[in-house]
Amino acid sequence: MTVYRKISLLMLAVFLLIYLLGALFYIQQARHDVQRELDGVAGLAQSLESPDGLPESVVSGMRHLTPAGDTGTEVSRDVPAWFSALIAREFHRPVVNGWQVDPADEVEEIWEGFLLVSGAYAIGTCLCFLALFVMVRRGMRTLASLSEAMGAISAGQLTSRLPRQQEQELDSLICRFNSMAEALQSEQQTVSRLLNELLRLQDREREHIARVLHDDLGQYLTGIRAQARSLLYDPGLNDRQKKQASDLAENCETIQRHFRHLLQDLHPLVMEQLGLGSAIRHLTEQWQQLSGLECRLAMDDRLPEFTGEQQTHLYRFLQEALNNVSRHANASCATLAVALNATELSIEVRDDGVGNDCLPDNAGLGVRSMRERARCLGGEVKFFSRMGEGTRIRLAVPLSRLCPIPGSIV
């Protein structure tokens, strides 16, 4: 039940109670007035002659007095019988000097007054309910706006604000909501800055570790492998020792192969050397080798120019999306599409896996990092997934946020 209905029913009960109490007091007062009027009329009848000795016009014009035995003067048919009985049923109607005391005229006047008072009360009640409706509707309109704004806040639109209100109570509520929204927006901005800085620091540390490993450990592995290969041609070694040297060289080659995959995960050097397009192609090839799944790549040859940070965010976004496919989708094939139109760069990753009806509500750290990288790119990421129908991830980045040099090619 709505608040308006509850208030209306409560007010209706109060008005009915007041009306019944007023009617009770009115009837009691009317009975007292009728009794007093009848006593006065009885005294008047004693001073009058018998109705037989008076002209007919005088007899018919008498109020509250009728000739004894005359049944032609009943209570007006406009007065309900129950009301007449309620007012005058207990009164004694004496016969005085040939006149019978009759309260019919007085009861009719009381009934007319009762109708006027009831009508005025009904009009006042309707006006009160009309004023209540107007005020409650205005308040409910404000509450509905507040509910919509809170829904927008829960959906992440922290810029929602409500206008001030004239009513003090509603204005106080609106001010508190706006203050809460501003605080949440400020906290979100702070968290976003911290996450952005964390991602930057993470990428810099990955780049630093990759370079150190490539320049130091990679050189050592290459040297060990070369020395092991040279031992194969040493005439002073027997066959057993040469077999050990050959195994050592093969092990070094295996370590180097995994080492290159590790360096690619830490920091894709191919992106610095050949650009983002080549890095994406290399990412899909490497993902197919490691996951054993098919990846179909459809990418425009022309891509907008990115800053180094934007390239890293986009590459990590695609890397996380493909890793989620291999880890959680239970898919046999993935599709990666990178398309450029006049207004935006569109990226879509799709798989034919099991899907998830709760995505992205039950998102883990990987999906959160994808959202944050999309925000850093100035774009919007959407997740579409249904059980048994696979998952589709779409990233749309406006070119105005990406292209410091429009028309440049990566």
Domain boundary among 83, 116, 147: 147
Q: Supply the pLDDT for residue 132.
A: 87
Residues in the chain: 410
What whole-number distance in Å separates Cα of residue 390 and Cα of residue 46? 108
Least confident of 322-326, 359-363, 370-374, 375-379: 359-363
Domain boundary among 117, 147, 177: 147
Q: Which amino acid is at 240?
A: R
Query: Which CATH number characterizes residue 343's domain?
Result: 3.30.565.10
Task: Dump pLDDT digits (tens) for 319-335.
Answer: 889 988 888 888 889 99
Number of domains forming the structure of the chain: 2
Q: Which amino acid is at 294?
A: E
Q: Supply the pLDDT for residue 408.
A: 40
The mean pLDDT value for 126-140 works out to 86
The segment with the largest mean pLDDT, out of 51-65, 82-96, 122-136, 239-253, is 122-136
| Residue 74 within a domain | yes
What whole-number distance in Å separates Cα of residue 26 and Cα of residue 97? 33
Query: Residue 372: which of 289, 293, 312 has the closest Cα?
Result: 312
Residue 360: DSSP 8-state: T
| Residue 93 within a domain | yes
CB 399 within 8 A of CB 343: yes
CA 253 from centroid of its chain's CA atoms: 58
Beta carbons within 8 Å of 338's beta carbon, 6+ residues apart: 280, 298, 299, 300, 303, 345, 346, 347
* Cβ-based neighbour number of residue 374 at 10 Å: 21
| Residue 7 within a domain | yes
CB 290 within 8 A of CB 261: yes
What whole-number distance in Å separates Cα of residue 284 and Cα of residue 319? 9
Please give the structure tokens belonging to residue 121: 């009360």
The mean predicted confidence, pLDDT, of the chain is: 81
pLDDT confidence band for 14 (50 / 70 / 90): very high
What whole-number distance in Å separates Cα of residue 309 and Cα of residue 195? 14
Please give the structure tokens belonging to residue 229: 């290969």
Q: Which residue has the higher pLDDT, 270 or 240?
A: 240
Least confident of 54-68, 199-213, 243-257, 267-281: 54-68
Q: Tell how strand 294-299 and strand 333-340 pair up.
A: parallel
What whole-number distance in Å separates Cα of residue 315 and Cα of residue 272? 12
Say yes or no to pLDDT of 18 above 90: yes
Is the model's pTM score more than 0.75?
Answer: no
Q: Supply the pLDDT for residue 255.
A: 84
Range of the domain at 343: 275-410
The mean pLDDT value for 105-126 works out to 89
The mean pLDDT value for 149-173 works out to 83
What whole-number distance in Å separates Cα of residue 410 and Cα of residue 153? 38
Helix (H) or strand (E) holding 315: helix 308-324
| Residue 193 within a domain | no
pLDDT confidence band for 64 (50 / 70 / 90): low
Say yes or no to pLDDT of 407 above 60: no
Least confident of 47-61, 199-213, 283-297, 348-362: 47-61
| Residue 234 within a domain | no
Query: Residue 402: which of 343, 316, 339 has the closest Cα?
Result: 343
| Residue 265 within a domain | no
The mean pLDDT value for 106-122 works out to 88
Query: Residue 285: which of 336, 324, 346 has the closest Cα?
Result: 336
3-state secondary structure 325-348: HHHHHCCCEEEEEEEECCCEEEEE
| Residue 258 within a domain | no
The mean pLDDT value for 388-392 works out to 87
The mean pLDDT value for 353-376 works out to 79
Say yes or no to pLDDT of 400 above 50: yes
Residue 216: DSSP 8-state: I
Q: Supply the pLDDT for residue 205.
A: 84
Helix (H) or strand (E) holding 14: helix 3-47
Please give the structure tokens belonging to residue 364: 């883990």
Tell me the DSSP string of 163-174: ---SSHHHHHHH
Query: Residue 319: which of 308, 311, 307 has the closest Cα?
Result: 311
Domain boundary among 125, 147, 169: 147
For the chain, how are helix, strand and coil distributed in percent, rounded to 5? 65, 10, 25
pLDDT confidence band for 394 (50 / 70 / 90): very high
| Residue 235 within a domain | no
Q: Supply the pLDDT for residue 124.
A: 92
Q: Which residue has the higher pLDDT, 126 or 202?
A: 126
